[in-house]
């Protein structure tokens, strides 16, 4: 696995960004835009995926990064659950549900694999200094 120097380089973060932008797009249209509770909660959950990946990446230790990735995975599950509500309320079509659900599910799977990978590196820690990241092997 190549070492990312910035969270924006992570494929899972890019996928989460795509999902977030689509959630914003669909939740800005029609009656969905007026369901403030569901709209805002879905947006927060989608943004939470991206934000937790970024915050964890910028953290000082691998164990904290793994915790944030777990939170991001939880938020991806939340988005999937909320997509069912949006579909049941007629806010999105079956096709839209399938497309959005697929992206959210891919995020979950990527996060799970990323967590598994990091857990196989239990002794590595990251140390940061003036924007430079060092991989330290004790």
Residue 135 lies in a domain: no
Q: On the CB side of 120, how many CA atoms lie within 13 Å of its CA?
A: 6
pTM for the predicted model, two decimal places: 0.86
Residue 3 lies in a domain: no
Residue 125 lies in a domain: no
Residue 19 lies in a domain: yes
1 pLDDT band (50/70/90 cuts)? low
Do 10 and 4 form a contact (C-beta atoms < 8 A)? yes
| Cα–Cα distance for residue pair 71/53, rounded to 1 Å | 9
Is residue 132 pLDDT above 60, yes or no?
no
**For range 3-17, the mean pLDDT:** 94
Please give the C-alpha separations between residue 87 and each of 52, 60, 81, 124, in angstroms, as whole numbers: 26, 40, 10, 43
Collapsing DSSP to helix, strand or coil, 27 comes out as coil
Give which of 11, 10, 15 is closest to 79, Cα–Cα.
15
- How many contiguous H segments (helices) and E segments (strands) does the chain have? 4, 2
Residue 94 lies in a domain: yes
What confidence score (pLDDT) does residue 129 get? 44
Write the CATH number for 35.
Answer: 1.20.1440.60
**For range 21-46, the mean pLDDT:** 97
Q: For the segment 59-115, what is each residue's pLDDT rounded down to a tens digit?
A: 988 999 999 999 999 999 999 999 999 999 999 999 999 999 999 999 999 999 999
What confidence score (pLDDT) does residue 136 get? 47
Residue 74 sits in which domain range? 9-119
Domain count, the chain: 1
Residue 134 lies in a domain: no
What confidence score (pLDDT) does residue 4 get? 84
What confidence score (pLDDT) does residue 3 get? 80
Residue 17 lies in a domain: yes
Residue 136 lies in a domain: no
């Amino acid at each position: 696995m190549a070492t990312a120097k910035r969270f924006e380089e992570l494929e899972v973060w890019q996928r989460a960004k795509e999902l977030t932008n689509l959630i914003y797009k669909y939740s800005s249209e029609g009656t969905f835009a007026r369901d403030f509770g569901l709209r805002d909660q879905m947006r927060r959950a989608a943004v939470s995926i991206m934000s937790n990946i970024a915050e964890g990446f910028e953290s000082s230790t691998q164990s904290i990064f793994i915790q944030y990735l777990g939170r991001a995975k939880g938020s991806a599950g939340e988005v999937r659950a909320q997509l069912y509500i949006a579909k049941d309320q007629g806010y999105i079509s079956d096709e839209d549900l399938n497309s959005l659900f697929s992206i959210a599910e891919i995020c979950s799977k990527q996060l799970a694999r990323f967590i598994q990978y990091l857990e196989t590196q239990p002794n590595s820690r990251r140390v940061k200094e003036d924007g430079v990241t060092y991989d330290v092997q004790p």
